[in-house]
């Protein structure tokens, strides 16, 4: 029984170790994001601030950390300050920082625009999960540089060439594709009379148009395989 238990723990440890090796270490790297007071706050103005979190508290994505009433006499200028990502309140820079007993209470304070409010501790993985496509592409190009561009262009040429050969060999009917382009309204971007003069030219132009429709797939494939090729090349260059 003891041997079985020991073997189980060893296998579990090995399994966890292998899983950790597969994970991207960059994803678990800690990031600290400073959240500032609203820009439309008047300098050294009296406000009412209501903290819903204190230092060390965990927060979910878009969870309210505090509420700021810029005009406490009127009571209709409340700003809700949210956590941009899932993480932890690393430090509350705004003074006085709330205690446990002051959570949910409306505290009087003096505030200026762009003043440090709190610091959110999150991870690279949480930030990446909410990135837009432009931010992801910028990070991709910054990390992989010319390699990513070469792979993207290679996939583009491969897709264009494959579609052209399929049209040339008759696996795809050029007339049917041209009819589809006409019905879809894309024929206004193509000189149909010139295409009728040369079947080869027609096939190439049709292949080029069809390749445009594969952009999302080609981009997804590029993003997926580039990190793997990058690691393989690094190992090869180290030898």
* CB-based contact 92:98 (threshold 8 Å): yes
Burial status of residue 116 (CB atoms within 10 A of its CB: 0-12, 13-18, 19 or more):
middle
120 and 180 share a domain?
no
Report pLDDT for 1. Answer: 47
- Say whether both 139 and 180 belong to one domain: yes
Mean pLDDT in runs of 10 for the chain (239 residues)?
41 40 66 90 90 94 90 73 91 91 93 94 85 74 85 95 88 72 66 65 82 90 90 77
Same domain, 180 and 231: yes
- pLDDT of 143 reads 78
E strands, the chain, are: 30-36, 45-51, 58-59, 64-69, 78-82, 87-91, 106-111, 116-123
The per-residue pLDDT for 8 is 34
Distance CA 194, CA 199 (A): 10
Flag whether 3 is in a domain. Answer: no
In a domain, 6, yes or no: no
182 lies in the same domain as 233: yes
The per-residue pLDDT for 233 is: 85
Distance CA 72, CA 70 (A): 6
**What's the domain range around 112?**
29-129
CATH number at residue 72: 2.40.50.100
- Domain assignment of residue 15, yes or no: no
CA distances (Å), origin 188, targets 98, 116, 184, 193, 207: 64, 55, 10, 12, 16
pLDDT of res. 9? 39
Question: Is there a domain that residue 8 lies in?
Answer: no
What is d(CA 200, CA 206) in angstroms, rounded to the nearest whole number?
10
Opening angle at CA 39, ends 33 and 40, nearest 5: 150
Domain total for the chain? Answer: 2
Q: Is residue 23 part of a domain?
A: no
Looking at the fold, whether 104 and 140 belong to one and the same domain comes out as: no
Structure tokens at 17: 């170790």
Q: What is the pTM of this model?
A: 0.50
The answer to whether position 12 is within a domain reads no
């Amino acid at each position: 029984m003891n041997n079985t238990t020991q073997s189980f723990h060893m296998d579990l440890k090995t399994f966890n170790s292998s899983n950790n090796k597969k994970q991207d270490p960059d994803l678990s790297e800690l990031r600290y994001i400073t959240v500032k007071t609203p820009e439309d706050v008047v300098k050294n103005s009296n406000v009412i601030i209501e903290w819903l979190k204190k230092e060390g508290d965990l927060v979910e994505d878009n969870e309210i950390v505090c509420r700021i009433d810029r005009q406490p006499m009127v009571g209709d200028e409340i700003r809700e300050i949210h956590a941009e990502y899932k993480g932890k309140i690393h430090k509350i820079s705004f003074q006085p920082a709330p205690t446990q007993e002051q959570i949910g209470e409306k505290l009087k304070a003096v505030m200026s625009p762009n003043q440090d409010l709190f610091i959110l501790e999150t991870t690279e993985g949480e930030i990446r999960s909410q990135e837009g496509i432009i931010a992801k592409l910028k990070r991709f190009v910054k990390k992989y540089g010319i390699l990513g561009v070469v792979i993207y262009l290679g996939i583009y040429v491969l897709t264009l060439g494959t579609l052209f050969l399929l049209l040339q060999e008759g696996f795809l009917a050029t007339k049917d594709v041209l009819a589809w382009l006409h019905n879809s309204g894309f024929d206004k971007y193509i000189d149909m009379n010139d295409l009728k003069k040369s079947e080869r030219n027609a096939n190439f132009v049709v292949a080029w148009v069809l390749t445009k429709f594969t952009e999302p797939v080609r981009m997804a494939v590029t993003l997926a395989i580039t990190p793997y090729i990058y690691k393989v090349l690094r190992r090869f260059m180290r030898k």
